């Protein structure tokens, strides 16, 4: 049994990681300020004697210090995760995503944590026009959010090289799943489409619908984090976490309408500033070094999500 800290543990992805770790027999502390996470996401583990929830904020260093004590591994998910919100509030983005992450790295170093696995993002590929994104080929970033994730990767590699703190970064592509909050204006496109379709509202696409995304189920993402902690031997590296399949937003909207059988229309609006046009993961490095491959197809994942969301 290993001892884990999961920051952002009440969030959409963090709570799934907590559940998988508890199911594997590990001991877990979840740290979250509940600004976007929800305690009900942890209902399945909250009463488990190997689980503990701590209310706290990663921007406070003392909180991070205490949370990292006697932990073998830290899985860092706490973040401001919205590109549009980061554009609206760049200082807040910097405070949470850069300062907060450095707090976690330093607290992990001081407490001699075995490894820090952290969430990066496909947003670091920026204006790279390659249809398939390779880890070594980042572009010019298009938002404060993307810049903060690139800075996090640099800090993690520095802590590995300078302080010998093992780190692994996971560049998430578009993560979806049942706990994604559709009530937030900054939520993922899938949860927004489901909310609209199930309430008989037209689906709105920004742009002409041709932009592509690589959608990966939250269960697969959580599994990638576990593998990065327990099996990855390469410190200071980053890995694409996606399926390797590109889906256009128009295709996605049509699939959601087919699954929900909603009788609504797809409508179009002007494209948004900061949106990446093409995003699909080259998954070879993750396959070879993490032994990770996504197992849940988009259609199966959306069907499961629809079953959870329908009244």
pLDDT digit string, tens, across residues 168-211: 999 999 999 988 876 665 568 998 999 999 999 999 999 999 99
According to DSSP, the β-strands at 247-248 and 212-213 are antiparallel
DSSP label of 281: B
pLDDT at 186: 52
* Alpha carbons 229 and 23: distance in angstroms, whole number: 16
Residue 254 burial by Cβ neighbours in a 10 Å radius (0-12, 13-18, 19+): middle
Q: At what angle do helices 218-230 and 12-23 cross, to 10 degrees?
A: 60
Question: Residue 193 corresponds to which tokens in the numbers above?
Answer: 């489409």
Percent of the chain with pLDDT over 70: 98
Short-list 247, 241, 198, CA closest to 218: 241
pLDDT at 178: 87
* Alpha carbons 105 and 237: distance in angstroms, whole number: 15
pTM of the entire structure?
0.94
Short-list 210, 208, 207, CA closest to 270: 207
DSSP output for 208-274 = SS--EE-EEEHHHHHHHHHHHHHT---TTEEEEES-S--EEHHHHHHHHHHHHT----EEEEPPPTT
- Convert the pLDDT of each residue in 209-248 to its tens digit: 999 999 999 999 999 999 999 999 999 999 999 999 999 9
DSSP label of 133: B
- Convert the pLDDT of each residue in 250-309 to its tens digit: 999 999 999 999 999 999 999 887 777 888 999 999 999 999 999 999 999 999 999 988
Question: Residue 249 corresponds to which tokens in the numbers above?
Answer: 């937003």
Q: Please list, in sequence order, all residues whose beta carbon lies within 8 angstroms of the beta carbon of residue 206, skipping any fewer than 6 positions away.
A: 268, 269, 270, 271, 272, 275
Percent of the chain with pLDDT over 90: 89
pLDDT at 183: 63
pLDDT at 179: 86
Average pLDDT along the chain: 95
Reply yes or no on whether 145 is catalytic: yes
Domain boundaries, given as residue ranges, for the chain: 3-175+217-242
Question: Which CATH architecture best describes the domain 3-175+217-242?
Answer: 3-Layer(aba) Sandwich (3.40)
pLDDT at 187: 60
Q: Does residue 249 carry a pLDDT above 90?
A: yes
Short-list 172, 107, 180, CA closest to 146: 172
**Per the residue annotation, which of 73, 118, 125, 145 is the catalytic one?**
145
C-alpha pair distances (Å), 210 with each of 28, 75, 182, 249, 276: 41, 34, 23, 6, 11
């Amino acid at each position: 049994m290993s001892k884990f800290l999961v920051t952002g543990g009440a969030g959409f992805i963090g709570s799934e990681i907590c559940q998988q770790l508890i199911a594997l027999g590990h001991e877990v502390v979840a740290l979250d300020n509940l600004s976007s996470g929800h305690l009900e996401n942890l209902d399945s583990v909250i009463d488990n004697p190997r689980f503990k929830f701590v209310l706290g904020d990663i921007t406070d260093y003392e909180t991070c210090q205490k949370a990292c004590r006697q932990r073998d591994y830290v899985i860092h998910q706490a973040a401001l995760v919205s590109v549009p919100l980061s554009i609206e509030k760049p200082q807040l983005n910097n405070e949470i995503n850069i300062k907060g992450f450095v707090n976690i790295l330093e607290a992990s170093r001081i407490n001699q944590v075995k490894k820090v696995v952290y969430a990066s993002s496909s947003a670091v590929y920026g204006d790279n026009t390659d249809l398939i994104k390779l880890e070594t080929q980042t572009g010019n970033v298009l938002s404060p959010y993307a810049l903060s994730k690139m800075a996090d990767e640099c800090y993690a590699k520095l802590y590995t090289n300078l302080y010998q703190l093992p780190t692994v970064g996971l560049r998430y592509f578009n993560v979806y799943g049942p706990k994604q909050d559709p009530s937030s204006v900054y939520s993922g496109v899938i949860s927004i489409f489901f909310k609209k379709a199930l309430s008989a509202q037209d689906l709105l696409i920004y742009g002409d619908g041709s932009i592509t995304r690589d959608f990966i189920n939250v269960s697969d993402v959580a599994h990638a984090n576990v593998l990065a902690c327990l099996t990855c031997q390469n410190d200071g590296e980053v890995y694409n976490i996606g399926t390797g399949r590109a889906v256009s937003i128009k295709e996605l909207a049509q699939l959601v309408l087919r699954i929900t059988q909603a009788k609504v229309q797809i409508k179009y609006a002007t494209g948004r500033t900061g949106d990446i046009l093409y995003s699909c993961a080259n998954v070879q490095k993750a396959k070879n070094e993490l032994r990770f491959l996504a197992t849940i197809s988009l259609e199966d994942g959306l069907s499961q999500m629809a079953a959870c969301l329908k009244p």
